[in-house]
């Protein structure tokens, strides 16, 4: 390489570095960030690689909302079967529209719990906060839309209809505090599952919810170990962890 070309490349490198720094600073001020597209830095890519490592061919997407989780799975290359569960009518309508063009993606308008029956869901303008539990006292919440009564089913009751022992299963739970109930209805399924991804809270965000130690202990007792913990909500004052996304994998 000539000295002139080397000089040009050095200038380009410095300009690119300054441009990246400016972009990162502008994103930071808006609460956003650039991350590398690697399994260590990009959660959606890591998730798909974990599924591939276990040969997962069925993802049970509990608390699907409008299908955001599945959108990320598909974009990062997971092509296997997915079954999503979303109980609230408005979110389910959007979910069904998202799944309509994907023949390997089935959707059901059910909540997942520890027994068959009915459940009152607290609903909000931001549907990501919908929950079968009331919010903890003092917790700020988006405007309430009221309560919707929905059908609830345990995952174990869906054996053969939705999943079988021959499936290589990953279970994802995003159920806003209803983790204890969802897991209690999945004791048989957990004997066959290879991966469990679940939101974990360090403080009670909903009345009566199970916290991180209880959920983690329950899964460890059933042969899983925590292999990834990604903060998704920290206290804005102290920076203390409030909620995280945990990935548990079947121990060897």
Neighbours of 144 (CB within 10 A): 12
Answer yes or no: are the C-beta atoms of 89 and 109 closer than 8 Å.
yes
Report the distance separating Cα 191 and Cα 252, nearest Å. 13
pLDDT at 8 over 70: no
Which of 105, 80, 74 minimizes the C-alpha distance to 167?
80
Q: How far apart are the first and last CA of the chain?
A: 52
The model carries a pTM of: 0.84
The residue whose two tokens read 């539990």 is 133
Residue 43: per-residue pLDDT: 74
35-250 CATH pick, 3.40.50.720, 3.30.300.30, 3.40.50.150, 3.40.710.10: 3.40.50.150
Q: Which residue has the higher pLDDT, 26 or 104?
A: 104
- DSSP structure string for the chain: --HHHHHHHHHHHHHHHHHHHHHHHHHHHTT-----SSTTT-HHHHHHHHHHHTT--EEEEES-TTTHHHHHHHHTT--SEEEEE--SHHHHHHHHHHHTT-TTEEEE--EE-SSSEEEEEEEESSGGG-BSSPBPTT---PPEEEEEEEEEE-GGGGBTTTB-TTS-EEEEE--TT-HHHHHHTTHHHHTTEEEEEEEEESS-SBTT---HHHHHHHHHTTTEEEEEEEEEEE-TTT--EEEEEEEEEE--
For 227-237, how does the pLDDT look when each residue is reduced to its tens digit (9 = 90+)? Answer: 999 999 999 88
pLDDT at 73 over 60: yes
15: which 2 tokens?
């300009």
* pLDDT band at 168; cut points 50, 70, 90: very high
Q: Where are the domains of the chain?
A: 35-250
pLDDT at 35 over 70: no
∠ CA 205-211-217, nearest 5°, is 165
Residue 32: per-residue pLDDT: 60
Answer yes or no: are the C-beta atoms of 178 and 152 closer than 8 Å.
no
Sign of the CA dihedral running 89, 183, 131, 66 = negative
CA atoms within 13 A on the CB side of 168: 11
For 135-158, how does the pLDDT look when each residue is reduced to its tens digit (9 = 90+)? Answer: 999 888 899 999 999 999 999 999
């Amino acid at each position: 390489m000539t000295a002139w070309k080397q000089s040009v490349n050095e200038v380009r490198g410095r300009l690119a570095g300054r441009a990246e720094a400016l972009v990162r600073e502008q994103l930071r001020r808006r609460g956003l960030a650039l991350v590398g597209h690697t399994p260590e830095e990009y959660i959606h890519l890591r998730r798909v690689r974990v599924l591939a490592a276990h040969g997962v061919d069925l993802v049970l997407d509990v608390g699907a909302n409008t299908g955001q989780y599945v959108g990320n799975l598909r974009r990062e290359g997971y092509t296997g079967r997915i079954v999503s569960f979303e109980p609230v009518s408005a979110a389910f309508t959007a979910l069904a529209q998202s799944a309509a063009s994907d023949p390997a993606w089935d959707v059901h308008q059910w909540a997942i719990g520890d027994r068959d029956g009915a459940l009152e869901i607290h609903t909000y303008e931001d549907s990501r906060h919908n929950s079968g539990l009331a919010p903890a006292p003092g917790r700020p919440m988006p405007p309430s839309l009221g309560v919707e009564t929905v059908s609830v089913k345990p995952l174990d009751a869906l054996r053969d209809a939705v999943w079988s022992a021959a499936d290589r299963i990953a279970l994802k739970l995003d159920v806003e505090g209803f983790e204890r109930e969802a897991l209690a209805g999945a004791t048989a399924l957990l004997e066959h599952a290879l991966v469990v991804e679940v939101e974990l809270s360090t403080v009670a965000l909903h009345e009566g919810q199970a916290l991180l130690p209880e959920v983690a202990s329950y899964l460890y007792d059933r042969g899983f170990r925590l292999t990834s913990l990604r903060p998704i909500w920290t206290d804005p004052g102290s920076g203390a962890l409030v909620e995280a996304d945990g990935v548990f994998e079947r121990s060897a």
